Amino acid sequence: MKSNTFDTIVIGAGMSGGWAAKEFSEQGFKTLLLERGPNVEHLKDYPTTNTQPWEFKHRGRLTAKEKKENPIASRCYAFKEDAKHFFVKDDEHPYVQKKPFDWLRGYQVGGKSIMWARQVQRWSKYDFEGPKRDGFAVDWPIRYKDLKAWYTYVEKFVGVSGNKDGLDTLPDGDFLKPWESNVVENYFSKEMKKHYKDRHVIYGRCAHLTESKPQFIEQGRGLCMSRKICQRGCPLGGYFNVNSTLIPWALKTGNMTLKPNSVVQSVLYDEAQQKATGVRVIDSKTKETTDYFAKVVFVTAATLNTNLILLNSKSNRFPNGLGNDNGLMGKYIAFHNYRATINAQCEGFPDKTIEGAKPTSHYVPRFRNIHKQETDFLRGYAAGFGASPARETDLRGFGATLKKQLLETKETGVWNVNSHMMGETIPKESNQVTLDKEKVDSWGIPLLNINVDYDENDEKMIQDFFEQFTEMFKKAGFVNIKTNDNKRMPGNDIHEMGGVRMGKDPKTSLLNSWNQLHECKNVFVTDGACMTSTSTQNPSLTFMAITARAANYAIKQMKKGLI
């Protein structure tokens, strides 16, 4: 037992878990970081990072067999020949779909931080105040002012490229210099300022190093070269992932023990002490069970797996899951709606083109229902925006003739422009996950039943996006405007949140303002499961800020002997 005892245990070696492990180990606490998948070491375990296009057997594509065997995973934009090894295959950890849901996962040290889209925006005061104002979810127990300093703390370590835009709906952060915007992106931004007071087209803030600073040099990271193959893992450390930053940083303290291939079955609860004492782990390969012990447990296994672990952490005191006295655990799951897209063409800059690339696009912060309710749907949406020259290439022939034609790609003078919606879905009790009563996985743990779907609010939001962006594109003089509902399944956004939400009242929430379970104060949940609402921003930056804040609170409490 002595060799299996630590000061703190962190479940899940992704973004949230990586931050918790860094904070604890850096401040002298013996920390056990558990990951159900294999280890992925920076530089060593990026097998395709320098592979040339012609070196891929299938030129980067999936085979028909792979698509047939992975109908869920293959719907992910990054599940291709170059990065498929970082994704959970459909048959490796099945789940029960009460309604169609794409559960896209990365079981390895680093989690999905290896393959993420790297967009990082802060929440604003309006996002944290929204539920109280609109009444669609319980009130957040924190506000923007509680996270402001932690956003900065995280941004300085991560490295975020961005502009100071001065928007109260999307607060500025600690930014590195941005890449240059192209002529059509700048044009659209200026046109929107001419026609609207509340609609802004800004540079998309992204977790990429555009400048070298002492902290990045100490991390061993180099500048982003905009290779745009980030999902393979970057040998330069040019974008932020856990493998090149948080894990090495924690390991060098000598206070962190990393245990990959460790499937957490449950959090252990001692009824006499009235607190959690550790976790039960199953070796993913040998199936051997081991108990580990600690004063504090951080559950950061990614939203749905965090719900699964806590629901499966049963005892006489908590027969329905650890801390689940009110029966709300697993309920009020929400996500982001990416179904709506719009495309058009810009004919105004025939003499302009682009050179090189950048790892981000432009971004339109939410402008609906911010200060008051103004539509027939609740909340709103943000959107991406991109523009690129339309080019023509003659693909006929073969050999030397074809090669010559490929090198003589023609600039048409027309630009393709596009936008996609990222809509906030409303947390509803009916959107929930539960443990299956009969089916179990390879480790004897109940499968997760997922019952999550769109609703009328989402449909109205999609139509509003079509109407508003069609109007915006017309005002900009774009032509050949086409809208499309791509019918993406819930979950395909990879932004699922909720199930163990924060709140002020133990009757209507599971976690307090410091991310502690109301009914078990030495267990913290700081990944997407803790989110009370989703807002419209990409959520990873907020997960990391919340985790850093909660970990430092826990450290202070531990030093005082209070937990």
Q: How far is CA 47 from the centre of its chain?
A: 23
Question: Of the CATH numbers 3.40.50.300, 3.50.50.60, 3.30.70.580, 3.40.50.2300, which one belongs to the domain with range 1-161+207-334+428-451+496-563?
Answer: 3.50.50.60
Model confidence at 57, pLDDT cuts 50, 70, 90, reads: very high
What mean pLDDT comes out for the span 6-16?
A: 98
| Bridging pattern class, strands 262-270 and 275-283 | antiparallel
Strand, coil or helix: what is 417? strand
Distances (CA, A) of 256 to 213, 219, 360, 538: 26, 17, 34, 29
Structure letter (DSSP) for residue 274 = T
What mean pLDDT comes out for the span 423-446?
A: 97
The string of pLDDT tens digits covering residues 439-481 is 999 999 999 999 999 999 999 999 999 999 999 999 999 999 9
Give the number of other CB atoms < 10 A from CB of residue 356.
Answer: 8
Residue 376 has pLDDT above 90, yes or no: yes
Residue 2 has pLDDT above 90, yes or no: no
pLDDT at 156: 98
pLDDT at 406: 87
Residue 525 has pLDDT above 80, yes or no: yes
- Could you tell me which of 302, 269, 224 has the C-alpha nearest to residue 525? 302
For residue 275 the two structure tokens come to 């607190």
Residue 23 CA to residue 509 CA, distance in Å, equals 26
The string of pLDDT tens digits covering residues 225-237 is 999 999 999 999 9
Residue 1 has pLDDT above 80, yes or no: no
The string of pLDDT tens digits covering residues 298-337 is 999 999 999 999 999 999 999 999 999 999 999 999 999 9
pLDDT at 136: 87
What mean pLDDT comes out for the span 39-44?
A: 97
Portion of the chain with pLDDT greater than 90, in percent: 95
Residue 343 CA to residue 485 CA, distance in Å, equals 12
The string of pLDDT tens digits covering residues 242-288 is 999 999 999 999 999 999 999 999 999 999 999 999 999 999 999 99
Q: 347 — phi, psi (to 5°)?
A: -105, 10
Residue 508 CA to residue 359 CA, distance in Å, equals 41
The string of pLDDT tens digits covering residues 382-422 is 999 999 999 998 888 899 999 998 888 888 999 999 999 99
Spans of all domains in the chain: 1-161+207-334+428-451+496-563, 172-204+336-424+454-489
pTM over 0.75: yes
Structure letter (DSSP) for residue 445 = P
pLDDT at 409: 85
Give the number of other CB atoms < 10 A from CB of residue 27.
Answer: 17
pLDDT at 134: 87
Mean pLDDT of the chain: 97
Q: How far is CA 91 from the centre of its chain?
A: 23
What's the chain's length in residues?
Answer: 563
If phi over 0 gives left and psi between -120 and 50 gives alpha, with beta otherwise, what is residue 424? beta
What mean pLDDT comes out for the span 181-191?
A: 98
- 149-155 contacts at long range (C-beta below 8 A, 24 or more positions apart): 150/545, 150/546, 150/548, 150/549, 151/122, 151/541, 151/545, 153/545, 153/548, 154/19, 154/541, 154/544, 154/545, 154/548, 155/120, 155/541
- Could you tell me which of 59, 56, 115, 50 has the C-alpha nearest to residue 87? 115
What mean pLDDT comes out for the span 187-202?
A: 97
pLDDT at 187: 98
Structure letter (DSSP) for residue 309 = H
pLDDT at 135: 86
State the angle between helix axes of 456-475 and 183-195 in degrees (0 to 180), rounded to the nearest 10. Answer: 100
Residue 113 has pLDDT above 90, yes or no: yes
